[in-house]
Structure 1
Amino acid sequence: MAEESSSAGEDSRLGEGGAGAAEGDLQPLPPGWRYPSALYREKLRVGELRPDPDQQAIMPALDALVRELSREVRRAPWRGVTVWQYADAEPPPRGLYMFGTVGRGKSMLMQLVFDGSDFPEKRRVHFHPFMEELHDRMHSAKPGPGVDRVLQIASDIAAGARLLCFDEFYVTNIGDAILLGRTMQALFRCGVTVCTTSNWAADDLFHDGLNRDSFLPLLRILKRHVHELDLAQGADWRRQHTDPVSDLGGDAEALFLELSLQPPTPGEWHFNRVSVNCLGAEAGVFWFAFEDLCHRALGPAEYMDLSRQARAVIVSGVPKLGGDNADAAMRFVVMVDLLYEGRIPFRLFSDLELDAICPSGPAAFAFQRTVSRIHELTRIFPT
């Protein structure tokens, strides 16, 4: 199976339709499938969204991807593994790389592609847990004789994910970049289409990273297999009609009591078999001191387990974050990412306004996304 490449015909298909085109004006889809533009119009009609020219401008690309994914496909043997092959013998659809500033609706747009594609072999995953999974698979994979380990892993992933949607694509260390590059190339060879979001243009990923030359192969692989869509800079929809989210001083204990109907009892709680000090844990409401939750060497697996167990999370004592506690700042960013992925209500208590918590340092840019997401998680906090 030859590695697919872009073509003029494929690019021209992205221009069909139109942001305002009615669903009937587009090529009919199989039963159960929906064009993202139609799903988008429904959200506008019920008031869930406001019209956004940048979002509307990329609807033809989203529609084209769903149309391409609806082609007939089968599993076929290749180099000792099984891969997806399309019945028309054309390459798998190129995916999408949607980027822009925080709060521009990138994740919502990716969800439209996911929801419009009516087949079971699709998967949406946050980038952090996917990397954890990838490292675990590297240790446990048992490829057949003469089969490349990474190709076997990619084939196993592809079996359940002909469409793989990544939230928040970014790379922070060169080891992950090298592993991800090999895996992505193998996934594309297995017929997987990738749709992802990022705050950065692809060329800006890992821009000042150590040994960035070793990252460039991943960048070339990614750009060869996705269309980049720039959502530009517009209003952050998460911040519209939201109350302040950093309770200056505040009474975290009173909030915990209000939600759990129980006074907090300090103790230990286990996340992914790791013991973490907790100021209170009752009825799915967790209250932590920032120091216990982010100054310890916890990772995505622990924060993902927290998001599974919690119905609301309170963190108090959040300090100013910068160069001296950059690791804690990045852990906080990862934690909020995973709480956001799980739609877990979150409330932060600090002596600082939220925008002043991380004004500088390695995590400052990523923290812009975190601020936006905290606004959204605070908006859904139980009252």
Structure 2
Amino acid sequence: MKGNIQSDPHQVVALKELERLRKNLMQHKPPQFTKATPSTPPSINNTSSWWGFGALSTEVFTLKNPFHGVYLHGGVGCGKTFCMNLFYDSIDNNCSWSKQKVHFHKFMLRVHQEMHAARGKGNADAIMPTVVNSVAARGALICLDEFQVTDVADALILQRLFTGLWDKGCVLVATSNRPPQDLYLNGLQRARFLPFIDLLREECNVVSMDESETDYRLVQKLESGSIPVYFTNEASEKKAFDKLFYDLVGSSAVAPTQLETCGRKIVVPQATLKRGICRFDFTDLCKKALGAADYLVIGQSFDTVFVENIPTLTLNEINWIRRFIIFVDAMYESNVKLILQGAKPAQELVQVDKSDTGTSHDEIFAFDRTVSRLMEMSSASYLKRKWKSHTSDNPAAMLSQARATVCVQPSLGDSKERRQ
């Protein structure tokens, strides 16, 4: 590791703030959580009931933190996640605080799932207290990577959720590409989200790394060299894309496959479970109504994913851009090897004039991070990472723990390829 870490003035500022928080955590005992008890609610409308926003008694949350969390924001590759990881690893057995670290997409996916489960029990006013308790139980120190809000449902949930978590004494450390005041910018019903921004700035010390001009993912790529993992529409490159797929597949049979998660079916046009490889057209992944749950189960089921025919994208295809960003995040979280073929190089896929404030969208800014992430994913060091299936090597155990089932259609010449 010698020589791999160098001094960076912007990271030093962030690390000093994180060290302040670490010392505070070492000096203060973690909060003692008690069971939330919803009060008898007044008459509330259907929307409030559906979200579980009924009134709560003052006895539910009684403990406030005597110190602030940390919110780091800055450009792509400036080292925000690196700093947060150093801080997270420093909270060891000498500190009595429980901790959790999770990507924001995965965090919100779990929140939605727990809200759905709590809603099924029939008491609307117990939904949010139940979810707050569940999140807090996983760790009073909550580290969220790549905090961003692009969904109206998430925006409406966040204030209620984090009010409960902060009142319980939880501490937030977050990284983001955007300062708090720019979160969910131009989003639907943003006025209802603004109180959360005020809470966030009250509960967390905000550290800007925006002045950093270094993208360490690019540095890593240049220093370590890269393996071709992105191909354009040129005939020779499309042929190379196909060749790489069949070289990796080898003699294994390729067949259409179905994954299931949360009652939804995801069609995988080409796959070999034996080699852990699958292949999609961009239409299958991003032009259809897929979300984080679907992409995560793909990342947990295959260690290598090919995607072809990625078109040039504009604001007219904002939903496709949003899904592509979430898809890349999900693949990155599972250390999936991602092989892409598109109309243009990755940095030119989205054609938007960012100086036009009338067309400002979170997804457009977030795509810069996606491009940087794709460059990192092409580096030799990333490609050497172990795939995060979160399971044993047994395919049945893998699918069970991923809460998915795989149904492979019969393929001529290789009956061993079938899995149920």
1:234 counterpart letter in structure 2: E
Which residue is 2:103 aligned to? Answer: 126
CA RMSD of aligned residues (A): 2.7
After TM superposition, give the deviation of residue 148 of structure 1 in Å. 4.5
Q: Does 1:358 align with 2:350?
A: yes
Q: TM-score, normalised by structure 1?
A: 0.80
Which residue is 1:270 aligned to? Answer: 259
Which residue is 1:115 aligned to? Answer: 89
After TM superposition, give the deviation of residue 245 of structure 1 in Å. 5.1
Which residue is 1:95 aligned to? Answer: 69
Which residue is 1:255 aligned to? Answer: 244
1:346-373 CA-partner distances (Å, limit 9, x unpaired): 1211231111101227432211110000
Q: Does 1:57 align with 2:26?
A: no
Which residue is 1:231 aligned to? Answer: 209
Which residue is 2:113 aligned to? Answer: 136
Distance, in Å, in 1 between the alignment partners of 2:123 and 2:189 is 34
After TM superposition, give the deviation of residue 339 of structure 1 in Å. 1.5
Give the secondary structure class of the aligned counterpart of 2:378. helix
1:291-330 CA-partner distances (Å, limit 9, x unpaired): 1111111110011111212222221111111123221111
After TM superposition, give the deviation of residue 141 of structure 1 in Å. 2.1
Q: Does 1:191 align with 2:169?
A: yes
1:153-177 CA-partner distances (Å, limit 9, x unpaired): 2122111211111111111133321
Is this contact kept in 2: 1:165–1:195, CA < 8 A?
yes
Judge which range, 314-323 or 146-155, deviates more.
146-155
Is this contact kept in 2: 1:68–1:93, CA < 8 A?
yes
Distance, in Å, in 2 between the alignment partners of 1:264 and 1:309 is 17
Between Structure 1 and Structure 2, how many residues are aligned? 335
Which residue is 2:316 aligned to? Answer: 324
After TM superposition, give the deviation of residue 264 of structure 1 in Å. 6.3
1:313 counterpart letter in structure 2: V
Compared CA separation, residues 264 and 152, structure 1 to 2 (3 A): same
Which residue is 2:271 aligned to? Answer: 280
Give the secondary structure class of the aligned counterpart of 1:171. coil
Distance, in Å, in 2 between the alignment partners of 1:328 and 1:252 is 22
Distance, in Å, in 2 between the alignment partners of 1:152 and 1:265 is 44
**Identity over the aligned pairs, expressed in percent?**
29
Of the three residues 104, 122, 127, the one matched with 2:78 is 104
Is this contact kept in 1: 2:73–2:209, CA < 8 A?
yes
After TM superposition, give the deviation of residue 332 of structure 1 in Å. 0.6
Distance, in Å, in 1 between the alignment partners of 2:62 and 2:290 is 37
Is this contact kept in 2: 1:266–1:279, CA < 8 A?
yes
After TM superposition, give the deviation of residue 152 of structure 1 in Å. 2.7
Q: Does 1:297 align with 2:305?
A: no
After TM superposition, give the deviation of residue 147 of structure 1 in Å. 6.8
Is this contact kept in 1: 2:312–2:349, CA < 8 A?
yes
2:23 counterpart letter in structure 1: R
Which residue is 1:21 aligned to? Answer: none
Distance, in Å, in 2 between the alignment partners of 1:74 and 1:203 is 29
Give the secondary structure class of the aligned counterpart of 1:270. strand
1:117 counterpart letter in structure 2: I
Compared CA separation, residues 270 and 92, structure 1 to 2 (3 A): farther
Distance, in Å, in 1 between the alignment partners of 2:260 and 2:62 is 37
Which residue is 2:129 aligned to? Answer: 151
After TM superposition, give the deviation of residue 382 of structure 1 in Å. 6.0
Distance, in Å, in 1 between the alignment partners of 2:98 and 2:62 is 11
Matches for 1:60-71 after TM superposition, within 5 Å: 60-70=16-26, 71=28
Distance, in Å, in 2 between the alignment partners of 1:207 and 1:279 is 39
Compared CA separation, residues 285 and 93, structure 1 to 2 (3 A): farther
Of the three residues 338, 341, 366, the one matched with 2:333 is 341
Q: TM-score, normalised by structure 2?
A: 0.73
Is this contact kept in 2: 1:239–1:372, CA < 8 A?
yes
Give the secondary structure class of the aligned counterpart of 1:229. strand
Give the secondary structure class of the aligned counterpart of 1:184. helix
Give the secondary structure class of the aligned counterpart of 1:65. helix
Compared CA separation, residues 77 and 49, structure 1 to 2 (3 A): same
Of the three residues 32, 37, 59, the one matched with 1:75 is 32
Distance, in Å, in 2 between the alignment partners of 1:128 and 1:91 is 26
Distance, in Å, in 1 between the alignment partners of 2:125 and 2:285 is 42
Which residue is 1:7 aligned to? Answer: none
Give the secondary structure class of the aligned counterpart of 1:77. coil
Is this contact kept in 2: 1:129–1:300, CA < 8 A?
yes
Structure 1: gaps of 5 or more residues: 1-44
Distance, in Å, in 2 between the alignment partners of 1:144 and 1:328 is 36
Distance, in Å, in 1 between the alignment partners of 2:122 and 2:319 is 40
1:246-273 CA-partner distances (Å, limit 9, x unpaired): 3124222221233333366241231524
Which residue is 2:402 aligned to? Answer: none
Distance, in Å, in 2 between the alignment partners of 1:214 and 1:327 is 23
Judge which range, 306-315 or 276-285, deviates more.
276-285
Distance, in Å, in 2 between the alignment partners of 1:210 and 1:132 is 20
Give the secondary structure class of the aligned counterpart of 1:234. coil
Judge which range, 185-194 or 338-347, deviates more.
338-347
Is this contact kept in 1: 2:268–2:278, CA < 8 A?
no
Structure 2: gaps of 5 or more residues: 38-58, 353-358, 386-420
